[in-house]
Amino acid sequence: MSTQYEIANEGVYSENFGDESVVVNMKAGNYYSLTGMASYIWDSLSAHVSVEALENAIAKRYHAPTAKADVRHFIKELVNEKLIHPTLNHSNADSDFSLAPAAYSVPLLRVFKDLQEYVIGSVS
Amino acid sequence: MQAIIDSTLFEQWWLDCLNVTQALTAQQKKYYHFGEAIFAIHFYHDDSCFFTQAIAHVELTVNDTHDFQIDVIDGSIAKLPTWFITQHLTTLISHHFTVSDNQRFILHYQKNTQVIQFIDLASNRAVVWYAALSLLPAWERSFPFRQILHHYFENTDYCLIHGAAVGIKGQGVLLTAKGGSGKSTAALACLSKAWLYAGDDFVLYQTKTNTLYSLYNVAKLTPQQLTRFNGLQALSIAIDNDMDKQQLFLYPPYQSQLIRKLTLTAIIVPRYEASTEMCQLIPITAAHALFCMAPSTLFLLNAKQDSFNKLAHLCKSIPTYQLNTNDQLDGIPLTLQTLLN
């Protein structure tokens, strides 16, 4: 069975600017910059593309030897940050490369936690 | 994050609270212009200064109609019915925000300061109750009613933004970044060169018209920063012990420079570095601008996805720059002026 994830639906907002995505986690008070292939992977996960389908499609299109490991590592980081979680709602969505970068670059997640004290209710 | 409670319970408590206000006589009825909406604020005690000093510049002398009403009740004048608070105390304390399941009612309960803000979005009315002024933190004076304004405007084409705004001849720039980046310093450097000033901390943006509206006539500076602005030291100042900053109320001394609205031309992310050779603007991506603007705005207001979408749309719509600054304050208005000519 394929592995599928979905975006945490409570308080995770994101915007794709093409070469970078901005993600905000309202519950944790963290925010993130997604660059390289990260925006594309994030959007694919949002569209219910399975991890296996995503890995295979990226490896095939870009011929990048580290692609599968990079995708796995990036997804693990997203899970650790509680931005995505596994879902049992499986679909057969395919990777849509119309918005994918022309060249492969390692998906990067930069994590920022310096504004946690701004979250309402964080200080009582 | 917010908790959800049955709307019928909320409605019953709302009616109970309204019964309390109806038995009272408002000592002051004031009207304020926020965006293009008019807010009536009724005070049931004599001294409203704590809540009105920051918004005095947008006060209307008299008005027949209003879009939203806020009743501000001092705990020494009347108590609100306690059954709802008692019944849901654990939920209210742990979540800070509580919303009715039909999204009509929003309750903010601050146990440490004993402040209740109860909003009914169906009747466009809110009740603010506080136990005693002495329990309110000093920083509340600089941006009163911001949660109520946020909730009212969040369902419209407006949104509150954490930032400052200055301009010339009706055209303005938004200065936005997390605290300590130099927003207030940059805004006051422009004010001291006779620029128009639309506020600091929070401003109101309307997406449809690309207009920034003033909310608060306040600036906040550390005592050390304040020494760099000779003319400001004589202003009414409130000490903010929690934030180690001083609040400067620019109305009425700077009344002629306080502007109610500006057309937005650019987003500026200030970045102070003493070693910077000269003040300069560097184009940044829309993503970087959103990165600097959205998190603090959203966290401070507990805003919803709609607010994030408005901020993202704004960053994609107009030019975005980083403003590198140093200790030469005069360079800030000189540099920003190139965007407004």
pLDDT by residue (tens digit) across A37-48? 999 999 999 998
Task: List the single residue in A with minimal CA-CA distance to B177.
Answer: A115
**Which residue ranges make up each domain of chain A?**
5-118
Rounded mean pLDDT, B225-231? 86
CA distance A105 to chain B (A): 18
pLDDT by residue (tens digit) across B162-187? 999 999 999 999 999 988 889 999 99
The two tokens of residue A20 are 């970078």
Asked whether residue A124 carries a pLDDT value surpassing 50, the answer given is no
Which chain A residues touch B285 with a CB distance below 8 Å?
17, 19-20
pLDDT attached to residue B341:
75
CB within 8 Å: B299 and A27: no
Q: Which of A26, A82, A122, A123 best tests the B interface by mutation, with the highest count of B CBs <10 A?
A: A26
Asked whether residue B253 carries a pLDDT value surpassing 50, the answer given is yes
**Residue in B93, B112, B300 closest to A120 by CB:** B300
Average pLDDT, chain B: 93
In sequence order, what are the residues at sequence separation of 6 or more whose Cβ sits closer than 8 angstroms to the Cβ of residue B25? Answer: B44
3-class SS of residue A75: helix
- Residue B274: other Cβ atoms inside 10 A: 7
Distance of CA B41 to the CA centre of its chain: 16
Which chain A residues touch B309 with a CB distance below 8 Å?
13, 15
Tell me which residues of chain B have a C-beta less than 8 Å from any C-beta of chain A. Answer: 1, 93, 95-97, 111-112, 178, 285-288, 290-291, 294-296, 298-303, 305, 308-309, 312, 316
Asked whether residue B240 carries a pLDDT value surpassing 80, the answer given is no
pLDDT attached to residue A123:
44
pLDDT attached to residue B238:
66
| Residues making up chain B, counted from first to last | 341
pLDDT by residue (tens digit) across B50-103? 999 999 999 998 777 999 999 999 999 999 998 988 888 888 887 778 999 999
pLDDT attached to residue A120:
75
Q: What percent of chain B has pLDDT over 70?
A: 98
pLDDT attached to residue A93:
73
Q: What percent of chain A has pLDDT over 70?
A: 94
Q: How far apart are CA B32 and CA B61, in angstroms?
A: 9
- The strands making up A20-25's β-sheet, listed across from edge to edge, are A12-16, A20-25, A30-35, A108-112
In sequence order, what are the residues at sequence separation of 6 or more whose Cβ sits closer than 8 angstroms to the Cβ of residue A68? Answer: A55, A58, A59
Q: How far apart are CA A68 and CA A54, in angstroms?
A: 9
Which residues, numbered 78 to 117 in chain A, qualify as contacts with chain B under a Cβ-Cβ cut-off of 8 Å? 112, 114-115
CB within 8 Å: B308 and A15: yes
- The strands making up B68-74's β-sheet, listed across from edge to edge, are B2-5, B97-100, B105-110, B115-120, B125-130, B68-74, B37-43, B28-34, B59-60
Q: What percent of chain B has pLDDT over 90?
A: 77
CA distance B203 to chain A (A): 17
Q: How far apart are CA B169 and CA B269, in angstroms?
A: 22
CB within 8 Å: A13 and B112: no
CB within 8 Å: B302 and A120: yes
pLDDT attached to residue A121:
66
Beta partners for residue B204, in sequence order:
B160, B213
| Residues making up chain A, counted from first to last | 124
Phi, psi torsion values for B249, nearest 5 degrees: -100, 115
Asked whether residue A82 carries a pLDDT value surpassing 90, the answer given is yes
pLDDT attached to residue B236:
61
Q: How far apart are CA A35 and CA A21, in angstroms?
A: 7
User: Which parts of A1-124 fold into alpha helices (H)?
Assistant: 38-46, 51-62, 67-80
**Residue in A20, A21, A24 closest to B308 by CB:** A24
Cis peptide preceding A101, ω within 30 of 0 = no
pLDDT attached to residue B60:
95
Which chain A residues touch B95 with a CB distance below 8 Å?
121
The two tokens of residue B18 are 């309204």
Asked whether residue B242 carries a pLDDT value surpassing 60, the answer given is no
Phi, psi torsion values for B77, nearest 5 degrees: -90, -45
Q: How far apart are CA B288 and CA A34, in angstroms?
A: 11
Rounded mean pLDDT, A62-80? 94
Rounded mean pLDDT, A59-81? 94
Q: What is the ipTM of this complex?
A: 0.93
Q: Which residue has the higher pLDDT, B58 or B272?
A: B58
User: Which parts of chain B fold into alpha helices (H)?
Assistant: 7-22, 49-52, 83-87, 89-95, 146-154, 183-191, 223-226, 286-301, 305-317, 331-340
Any idea what DSSP says for residue B87? H
Q: Is A31 on the interface with B (CB under 8 A)?
A: yes
Which chain A residues touch B299 with a CB distance below 8 Å?
26, 29, 115, 118-120
Q: Which of A66-70, A81-85, B8-12, B91-95 has the lowest mean pLDDT?
A: B91-95
Q: Which residue has the higher pLDDT, B93 or A87?
A: A87
- Structural domains for chain B: 2-136 (no CATH), 158-214+256-340 (3.90.228.20)
Q: Which residue has the higher pLDDT, B324 or B139?
A: B324
Count CA within 13 A, CB hemisphere, residue B279.
21
Q: Which of B68-72, B230-234, B260-264, B297-301 has the lowest mean pLDDT?
A: B230-234
Q: How far apart are CA B315 and CA B301, in angstroms?
A: 19
Q: Which of these, B117, B180, B112, B101, lies nearest to B150 by C-alpha position? A: B117
Q: Which of B99-103, B117-121, B147-151, B180-184 has the lowest mean pLDDT?
A: B180-184
pLDDT by residue (tens digit) across B47-57? 899 999 999 99
Tokens 């946690």 sit at which residue?
A: A116
In sequence order, what are the residues at sequence separation of 6 or more whose Cβ sits closer than 8 angstroms to the Cβ of residue B74? Answer: B44, B45, B130, B132, B133
CB within 8 Å: B295 and A124: no
Rounded mean pLDDT, B239-248? 73
